[in-house]
Chains A and B, each alone.
Chain A
């Protein structure tokens, strides 16, 4: 069964600290993996997109890694800021029927950055 599991469900860190969010997946055939940030009451916003051949991609203080062999990804946030408080969603895309992508969404990690 195609699934995306994220951990932890929620996380509280102090401003300025680093943190790492995890994503494990069983989606096949793998096409790409995306991380989104969703602020409370808003729609998800794309942070990174990685294909099979990419094992790391950065977007400012956000760095995503991908291990396609173990089917694991992580999102590392450096020097956290209060504005990083949000839910972070891992999405794995499968090439379905060679026509289009089918997206599998994780349930997200809710990050709370405290001053």
Chain B
């Protein structure tokens, strides 16, 4: 198993540009999510999905879009990049995230994004 993979590893954008961060998992996990990690702060949830065709917003969704057309893939789209979106982005997956679940969350290696 490759686990959770993310591409690219690094990206530099100019303000106003758009791009897609790719995330894929090969563990047949239903639950997938996107986080951003900023210095001195805990990971913050951007968007999540409980299965193909189902997505919802996390705590910091503004400026980001997601879709889930397959179980394996969960891309994150930046619509019009802003310097405030400079961060490290992590994709994570788990078998489920039902209330009370203790399923392990597996994280990808991250994408380090800089917006100039």
Contact = CB atoms under 8 A, between A and B. Distances in A.
Q: Do A and B bind each other?
A: yes
A43 B100 contact: no
Given A43-B4, A43-B107, A100-B50, A105 B102 contact: no
A49 B102 CA distance: 7
Question: For this complex, into which size category does the number of interface residues on chain A fall?
Answer: 20 to 34
Nearest to A107: B42
B32 to A, nearest CB: 13
A43 B109 contact: yes
Given A43-B90, A89-B42, A51 B107 contact: no
Interface string A33-46: 01000000111111
Contacts of B53: none
Interface in A95-113: 95-101, 103-108
Given A4-B42, A43-B90, A107-B42, A99 B98 contact: yes
Contact of B99 (A89, A101, A103, A104): A101
A74 interface: no
B42 A108 contact: yes
A7 interface: no
A105 B42 contact: yes
Nearest to B35: A105
Given A41-B110, A89-B42, A106-B42, A46 B105 contact: yes
Given A95-B99, A107-B40, 14 more contacts: A32-B100, A32-B102, A43-B90, A43-B107, A43-B108, A46-B105, A51-B102, A89-B43, A98-B99, A100-B97, A100-B98, A101-B97, A105-B44, A106-B42
Interface of B: 4, 40-45, 50, 90, 92, 97-102, 104-110
